[in-house]
Amino acid sequence: MTATTTTDVSHIAPREKAEILSQALPYIRKFHGKTIVIKYGGNAMTDPVLQQDFAEDVVLLKLVGLNPVVVHGGGPQIEDALNKLGKKGHFIQGMRVTDEETMSVVEWVLAGEVQQDIVGLINAAGGKAVGLTGRDGGMIRAKKLRMLDKDDPAKEHDIGQVGDIVSIDPSVVKALQDDQFIPVVSPIGFGEKNESYNINADVVAAKLATVLQAEKLLMLTNIRGVLDKAGELLTELTPRRIDELVADGTISGGMIPKIAGAIDAAKSGVNAVHIIDGRVPHAMLLEVLTDQAYGTMISSR
């Protein structure tokens, strides 16, 4: 990841800039002091221009009084690292089988390369980011994920050091927020015997948003949001409607854990969960500080 030049807004007339700021003011006032958890992934993590947009958005949200917390993924980067080592990834029901050697690579890539790139981007944009894993401050306690066979629930697959969250202690995140830092969290937890676990980043973001009593959970993706069978954007969803979309196959694959985490967060007190298109420049600012819908909002109602 490398920083690029700051977005050029010189073509916008002063009157238009003032209008944009005046429209954002009610949202800045409404969300001042509130926590926003951001799941960072997809094209926004790999396109240099979008990386810069993301970093600027996070810094601006912090400067206007919100408290952003970033949780990042890194599947493509892990796959690249494994390929360089000559280790072929193995998946069961869409989940990466994570043996001890693979777990070492996961930790190195997520908590090292990817996390530090994100921290560097935010700091270069004028923020003060600090990288964390679930080990820091005893934040994410985990246990081995039990994966039942989708066709035969009596059968269980061993997928290694893939974790299920037992609990999250947000103390270290809150301490950093109080000191005006921006936490950047890698989705790695630890078990009873100090073993490491790789955890789905969507699940970590949703659970962290819940325990922090976040105002919003923003999940950046490579699609416009949740689409119906005709490819049209569904701007609002309820749990009942989501059940229908899963049943008829409209929602499937990697979108299922993302949606499940979103529903859990919405039911547990997070006021709004947004699945937004990370390919849109400054998508987060547009979602948080304007009345435009740039994805799908999920509510518990």
Q: Which residues are annotated as a binding site for substrate?
A: 74-75, 96, 198
- Which residue type, as a one-letter code, is found at position 130? V
Distance of CA 197 to the CA centre of its chain: 18
Is residue 54 within 8 Å of residue 127, measured between CB atoms?
no
Nearest to 213 by CA among 183, 168, 182, 257: 168
Distance of CA 195 to the CA centre of its chain: 24
Is residue 109 within 8 Å of residue 123, measured between CB atoms?
no
Cα Rg of the chain, angstroms: 19
Beta bridge partners of 273: 217, 298
Token output for 286: 């547009």
Q: Tell me 226's DSSP state.
A: -
Give the CA-trace dihedral at 74, 75, 81, 84, to 10 degrees: -150
Cα(21)–Cα(23) distance, integer angstroms: 5
Give the CA-trace dihedral at 51, 52, 57, 58, to 10 degrees: 70
Which residues make up each annotated binding site? 74-75, 96, 198
